[in-house]
Amino acid sequence: MDYGISKKDREWIAELRAKLEKKLRSECVRCANIIPNELNENGCYEDTENVFWWTNGFWAGMLWQMYSATEDELFKETARFTEERMDKALELFEGLDHDTGFMFLHSAVADYRLTGDKDAYRRGMHAATILAGRFNPLGGYIRAWNPAYDTVNGTLGLFIVDCMMNLPLLFWAHKETGDPRFMAIAKAHADKTLELTLRADGSSNHKVVCDPNTGEFISAPAGQGYASGSSWSRGQSWAIYGMALAAKYTGEQKYLDAAKRTAHYFLACAADTDYLPLADFRAPSEPVVYDTTAGMCAVCGLLEISQQVGEYEKSLYVNGALKLLRALTDRFCSWDPEKDGITDHCTRAYDDGRHIHIIYGDYFLTEAILRLSGEGFEIW
C-alpha cells in the first residue's frame, strides 16, 4: 500500500521496523510455550491460563504479521502454539462470546491466509459460525457478553462498540464460502451500531442495551469509560477501524462516512493533548489518564480510511496517523529486547488498570509499522 509518506518519515519507520523485529524475535524465544497476557512485577509476560480470554489472539497476530514480512519460521511456529492451544476453547464453547473474531481472526484465519493450512481453515470457520450464532434476528445485533459477565442486569439485549472489530471474521467467512448469511449478519449489526452506538458528533457509546425481542433502544449505560455519555477513547478507535473495515468489505459509503466522522472527532480530541490520547475524551482534567491502545488502534484505522478516499483527502488521515504514532512511540514505548512488552500507558478501563502494558497495544503498533513500511499483512 502506498501512503505517500516523506523520505524522513520512511527513515523513521525503518528504524521502528528494525527495533520491532529485534524485540519480537527476543520475545519469541522467551514466550515460545505460553500465550502472553499481562506483565508480572519483574516485567515478564505471564501465561494466559483462560483459553477463552478475549486477547488470546493478539500475540499470534503480531507473529503472523512478522512472518508475512520476514518468512522466518520462528514467527510461524510460535504463532501456531497459540492457535493449537485455543482448540480447547472451540471444544468447550461456553466461554466464547462476541470476541471470537479477535481470538481466531488473528490466529487461525491469519495462518490459513498465509499458509493454506486446512486445520487453520477449520478453526476459522468454526469460530465464524459461533460468532454468527450470537446474532439476534429479532433485535438485529450480535450479542456481546455471556450471562456470567453480568448476573444482575443480564446480557441478552447488550451489544458494544467492540463488536465492530469482530465483524471481519464474518466478512472472511462470506468471501470463503459465498454463504450470504455471514454478510447479512455483519451488515445488520453494523447498521444497528450506526443507529444506536455512534453519535452525530462523531463520538460513541460503549454499551447499548436493547429489548432483545424487538431491538428497541433501552439505554446506553456506562462502560469502560468515565461515565454514561462520556467518550471512551478505545471505543472511539474501535468505531473508526471497525466502520472503515465494514466499508472495505461491503463497499457501502455510509460506513466510510461513519469512520471518517469518528476519526475527525478522535483527531480533534487527541490534538488537545499533543496526540497522546486520553482514556476518555469527556472526563475530568485530573487525574490525567492516557490510553496508548486507543491511539495505536486509531493509527491503523486512519491508515485504512486513507486507502478508501480520494487523492486530495488521503493526507488528512495519513498525517493524523503519523502524528499519533510518533507521539506514542516517543513517549510510551520500550524497545529493550531483554524485557517483554513494548507499549506502556495503556489503560484497561478508566477506573481500572491505568497506565499498564496491554498486549493489543503491541499488536496495533506492529500492524501500523508494517503497514507503513510496505510489508503489512491484511489480517482483518
Spatial distance between the Cα atoms of 266 and 205, rounded to a whole number of angstroms = 14
Q: DSSP letters along 188-238, please? A: HHHHHHHHHTB-TTS-B-SEEEE-TTT--EEE----SSSSTTS-BHHHHHH
Among 97, 99, 291, 340, the one annotated catalytic: 99
Catalytic status, residue 99: yes
Query: What single letter denotes the amino acid at residue 294?
Result: A
CA 352, 367, 97, 252 dihedral sign is positive
Torsion angle defined by CA atoms of residues 306, 309, 310 and 311, in that order, rounded to the nearest 10 degrees = 0
Q: How far apart are the first and last CA of the chain?
A: 15
| Bond prior to 287 in cis (omega within 30° of 0) | yes
> How is residue 194 written as a grid cell?
450506526
Torsion angle defined by CA atoms of residues 247, 252, 257 and 260, in that order, rounded to the nearest 10 degrees = 20
Residue of 39, 52, 48 whose CA lies nearest to 86: 52
Spatial distance between the Cα atoms of 311 and 307, rounded to a whole number of angstroms = 9
Residue whose entry in the numeric block shows the C-alpha cell 519460521: 73
Among 97, 111, 162, 340, the one annotated catalytic: 162
> How is residue 89 written as a grid cell?
476453547
Which contiguous run of DSSP H or E holds residue 254? helix 253-271
> How is residue 250 written as a grid cell?
461491503
Catalytic status, residue 344: no
Give the burial class of 274: count Cβ atoms within 10 A of its Cβ; 0-12 exposed, 13-18 middle, 19 or more buried. exposed
Neighbours of 153 (CB within 10 A): 12
Spatial distance between the Cα atoms of 369 and 157, rounded to a whole number of angstroms = 38
Neighbours of 174 (CB within 10 A): 21
Tell me the catalytic residues.
99, 162
